[in-house]
Amino acid sequence: MIFIPTDIRDTWLIDIEPIDDERGFFARSFCPQEFARHGLSFSLAQASVVLTHARGTLRGLHYQAAPWEEDKLVRCTRGSAYAVVVDLRPESPSYARWMSAELSAGNHRSLLVPKGCAQGYQTLEDDTELHYQMSESYRPEAKRGVRYDDPALAIRWPLPVTRIARADREWPDFDAHRSRTP
């Protein structure tokens, strides 16, 4: 596994190292020992799959509030998606910044999203499927988000947004989040 640091503290892109033969390839996509070698601890509490039918659909930007904050390991298993992470941790040197990466079935790349960061994505193809591994079980009462089109964040989405859930359109802007943070 190849761990690639990003501009957001504790956020990593993780590439596989395929071993090819005439049948195809084999590669590890998760290994606690490899994570530990990079100073990362990730315990799996839940895994989920998300299928999105239409290109241009936007999901996010989501996170869980304390005490149920979660690390997420996100990988695209069909199609492709433009994934975004926003740092919501006031103590972080990358606070209020965002980063993006393309995740696709073809590049087999994963994105490790740390606790305290919001994450979302826009589908680049029809019928895109993402696989999530989370360090905490989903708690509806802890569900939070930041608006995807907040001018303070100025996220550059690659496509016009064709579909988005009402809840995702109505998340508060980043300044509202900032005012709730001690």
* Contact call for residues 121 and 84 (beta carbons, < 8 A): yes
Ramachandran angles phi, psi of 136, nearest 5°: -140, 145
180 sits in which H/E element: helix 174-180
Of 95, 131, 132, 138, the active-site residue reads 132
Asked about 53 being catalytic, the answer comes back as no
Asked about 62 being catalytic, the answer comes back as yes
Of 62, 82, 108, 177, the active-site residue reads 62
- List the structure tokens of 91: 């103590």
Query: How far is Cα 42 from Cα 131, in angstroms, rounded to an integer?
Result: 16
- What are residue 87's DSSP bridge partners? 117
172 preceded by a cis bond (ω within 30 of 0) = no
* Contact call for residues 171 and 165 (beta carbons, < 8 A): no
Give the active site residues. Answer: 62, 132
